[in-house]
Chains A and B, each alone.
Chain A
Amino acid sequence: MLKTQAYNTGNDTVCFDEMLRPDFSARECYRTLFEWLQRQSPGGIRAKQAEADAIFRRLGITFAVYGAAEANERLIPFDLIPRVISAAEWRFLERGIEQRVRALNAFLHDIYHRQEIVRAGRIPSELVNGNSAFLPQMMGFDPPRGVYSHIIGTDIVRTEEDGFFVLEDNLRTPSGVSYMLENRETMMHLFPELFAAHRVAPVERYPELLRQTLQSVAPSGCDGEPAVAVLTPGIYNSAYFEHAFLADQMGVELVQGSDLVVEDGALWMRTIRGRARVDVLYRRIDDAFIDPLNFRPDSMLGVPGLFDLYRAGRVTLVNAPGTGIADDKAVYAYVPDIVEFYTGEKPILKNVQTFRCSIAEERGHVLEHLEELVVKEVHGSGGYGMLIGPRSTRQQRADFAERIRANPGNYIAQPTLALSTCPAFAGSGIGPRHVDLRPFVLVGDRVRVVPGGLTRVALKKGSLVVNSSQGGGTKDTWVLED
């Protein structure tokens, strides 16, 4: 069904397509998929797409959309054409990601101790010590194995054959890994032959690796097999499905704040047999809400005294509180320096050029070039509070300029990237759509990068916003083995 000519004219901007070269020949790792796509009928694909949608709906893989009052559960669209990454590309990404997460963990350890990087003048003190994502309460504490961010989702975009950039380091509570796993299950169910023709690196060990990682950072005083639990804000959270899914796959309890008590110097969950000890808590609740005694007193989601227990080394919180400072958008611009400072190496993965509105000359540049830039709020997430220059109206740009002038420290700007495209099924046929990639990294007794990740795709033709809250979908990501 795939007409190469039609496929490429669908591409409104000149950007790198991961399947087809400008001469319409398929890149090596996409050859099998490309040939397969040419043999498919539109009706056949449509039927498979309907089948995939039915599977996801039945499984209850839905997410809540903020701001939608009623019927607040929606499926994240799933696009059934896989994204393919060659073994060599993956080796490069894996090395780059590992280097980056090691450096960021070292950075966290440093800024919560002597702050050598600040003393060395490599990063402004105010940016760290005055940052709302920095938790002074964490200073002087040594988390087990010195690990702060154990579970990381690094957002990577591609602009050309060798052009991989890190767009965001998510070191707080990154989500999406359940989609990676369910997408894979679904693809294996729908297209067994295509899958078998590809030697795809497996991702299904992730839950087991996650459990190992969590157990490896149990408090030093814990004897026997460490008891792990996943802490969720509850069924109305947008990622609740994922919390339940991960707990289930790991074979551990999924708890809410009300299930937990701090008593006798330990954390317990309330079970039908009375209380049971918890050693490691994989918390999917933001820092501010984990403990009303130490942080937001109005939080109903957390456990009073939990942070005190953590600081006393009686329970491990994963990720550690205060990791947000390392993925703060204002700190992002310094990550290449951070990598060099702690590893003594050049960064393998590049940063996207970033203008800090807090700095006068950079702000001047941003205000003059709003039409070309993407402006982001330093503390925003999920694609909210963002200006995409080339797609903005004059009014929107004027509003943003005013907001930047009023609170410059709250904004950064980046060039609009020509994100790479991948083939996607777009209702009537197959066309190129912009994608990004979130591989998932685990840091415990060692660093583990699962081969694959979550590919997010902007399903609207020409759109660059891949966030699920803004009409993006997901794809299975196939990392090929040699």
Chain B
Amino acid sequence: MLGRTASSLFWMARYMERAENLARLAQVGHRVSIIPDGMGGYREDWKATLASAGCLPEFEARGAKLDAATAQNFLLFDRAHASSIRNCLENARNNGRAVRTALTREMWEALNSTWIEFAAIDPAEVGPGRMVELLDWVRQRSGQFRGAMLGSLLRDEGFHFCQLGTFIERADNTARILDVKYNVLLPVNEALGGERNQHQWDTILRSVSAVGAYRYFYRDRLRPRLVAEFLMLRPEMPRSLRFCCDFIAPSLGALAEMTGGGASSLALGSTLAAELRSTDLDAILRHGLREFLQDFLGRNAAISGALATDYHFD
């Protein structure tokens, strides 16, 4: 397999995953913006949404007014914003197009029709009513793509590069959401009774589609400690850092075995996975939640970089 092909598969999967995560964040942002804040306004917190999406600095650099319309346009349609949903879908599709021969027909059709249909949407036509529906559709299509990949792609190197793209992106997304709101998850919030923070915890869970899963798993009310544990350490939670690493490390192992290379990415990935498996929340809180998340983000990015070097991405 060409190094460029591996790179394209990796980035195709990353961009598709990113589009889905952005859609989820935009939905949460939209939901919050219509809940009264008890002081005559709305809870609107687009700043936190953009920060979670990792694009607040880019938005602020433009000096535009931040409101529902500008934030949503920025997240969904903005061509100048490298990580708008539009650009993610286009990048995913163009990466797929560049390695068309490495994809199955099902994957390509999911990728291609999603981009074609999204590109045909006129942003001006999408009012508040259609926004939720559109974002749901993006998530469904991402699911369809992943389903096509899992159901039809040969389990060779290509599959593992796709898996790595998906889970490195997902881990990055979850860690970023936690990093932006780490303060409301500190134990002190619960001690203070935290009714005011209830909706913040709810928002965090919604950002990773985990409200129902949380209740089902813990059979408890929202507690910051459990929210943090759920999103970082639970192997049952499919968007937790632990879960992602449990997929990243084996894919790195499989690639190393298939190619006889990949030593540095494998070392980084398996160390990180092993650490997540052996640590617990108390240890993390003692070390500092913020520090832990920052460290995780850095090491996750380092895996991505080592992968590119190990497998001759360029």
User: In their complex, do chains A and B touch, with some C-beta pair under 8 Å?
Assistant: yes
Interface residues of A (CB under 8 A from B): 57-60, 71, 234-235, 240-241, 244-245, 247-248, 253-256, 258-259, 269-274
Q: What are 27 A-B contacts with C-beta separation under 8 Å?
A: A57-B113, A58-B112, A59-B105, A59-B109, A59-B112, A235-B97, A235-B98, A244-B97, A244-B101, A247-B101, A253-B2, A255-B2, A258-B4, A259-B4, A270-B3, A270-B4, A270-B312, A271-B1, A271-B312, A272-B1, A272-B2, A272-B6, A272-B311, A272-B312, A273-B1, A273-B259, A273-B260
Chain B positions 53 through 74: 1 when the CB is less than 8 Å from some CB of chain A, otherwise 0: 0000000000000000000000
Q: A271 with B109: in contact, given A234-B98, A235-B98 (CB under 8 Å)?
A: no
Interface size on B, residues (CB 8 A): 27
Q: Does B100 contact A (CB under 8 A)?
A: yes
Closest to B116 in A: A57
* B100 partner, pick from A57, A234, A248, A259, beta carbons under 8 A: A248
Q: Does B108 contact A (CB under 8 A)?
A: yes
Q: A60 with B312: in contact, given A253-B2, A270-B3, A273-B260 (CB under 8 Å)?
A: no
Give bound CA distance, A241 to B108, whole Å. Answer: 12
Closest to A250 in B: B101
Residue numbers in A under 8 Å from B100 (CB-CB) = 60, 241, 244-245, 248, 254
Give bound CA distance, A259 to B7, whole Å. Answer: 12
Q: Is the contact region of chain A dominated by helix, strand, or loop, or is it mixed?
A: mixed
Q: Does B270 contact A (CB under 8 A)?
A: no
User: Are A60 and B112 in contact (CB-based, < 8 A)?
Assistant: yes
User: Are B97 and A60 in contact (CB-based, < 8 A)?
Assistant: yes
Q: A269 with B2: in contact, given A58-B109, A60-B112 (CB under 8 Å)?
A: yes
Chain B positions 90 through 127: 1 when the CB is less than 8 Å from some CB of chain A, otherwise 0: 00001001111100010011001100100100000000
Q: Does B288 contact A (CB under 8 A)?
A: no
Chain B positions 112 through 147: 1 when the CB is less than 8 Å from some CB of chain A, otherwise 0: 110010010000000000000000000000000000
Residue numbers in B under 8 Å from A258 (CB-CB) = 4, 314
Q: Does B261 contact A (CB under 8 A)?
A: yes
Residue numbers in B under 8 Å from A58 (CB-CB) = 109, 112-113
Residue numbers in A under 8 Å from B98 (CB-CB) = 234-235
User: Are A60 and B108 in contact (CB-based, < 8 A)?
Assistant: yes
Q: Does B45 contact A (CB under 8 A)?
A: no
Q: A272 with B261: in contact, given A58-B113, A59-B109 (CB under 8 Å)?
A: yes
Residue numbers in A under 8 Å from B116 (CB-CB) = 57
Residue numbers in A under 8 Å from B190 (CB-CB) = none
User: Are A272 and B97 in contact (CB-based, < 8 A)?
Assistant: no
Q: Does B229 contact A (CB under 8 A)?
A: no
Closest to B96 in A: A60
Residue numbers in B under 8 Å from A269 (CB-CB) = 2
Q: Does B157 contact A (CB under 8 A)?
A: yes
Closest to A240 in B: B97
Residue numbers in B under 8 Å from A244 (CB-CB) = 97, 100-101
Shortest C-beta distance, B162 to chain A (Å), equals 13
Give bound CA distance, A67 to B6, whole Å. Answer: 32
User: Are A248 and B101 in contact (CB-based, < 8 A)?
Assistant: yes
Interface hub of B98, B108, B260 (most chain A Cβ within 10 A): B98
* B3 partner, pick from A241, A245, A254, A271, beta carbons under 8 A: A271
Shortest C-beta distance, B151 to chain A (Å), equals 17
Shortest C-beta distance, B168 to chain A (Å), equals 17
Give bound CA distance, A247 to B103, whole Å. Answer: 12
User: Are A272 and B112 in contact (CB-based, < 8 A)?
Assistant: no
Residue numbers in A under 8 Å from B113 (CB-CB) = 57-58
Closest to B8 in A: A235
Residue numbers in A under 8 Å from B2 (CB-CB) = 253, 255, 259, 269-272
Shortest C-beta distance, A135 to chain B (Å), equals 29
Residue numbers in A under 8 Å from B112 (CB-CB) = 58-60
Residue numbers in B under 8 Å from A255 (CB-CB) = 2
Residue numbers in B under 8 Å from A272 (CB-CB) = 1-3, 6, 157, 255, 259, 261, 311-312
Give bound CA distance, A70 to B36, whole Å. Answer: 43
Residue numbers in B under 8 Å from A247 (CB-CB) = 101
Shortest C-beta distance, B93 to chain A (Å), equals 9
Interface hub of A244, A245, A258 (most chain B Cβ within 10 A): A244
Give bound CA distance, A71 to B120, whole Å. Answer: 10
Chain B positions 254 through 278: 1 when the CB is less than 8 Å from some CB of chain A, otherwise 0: 0100011100000000000000000
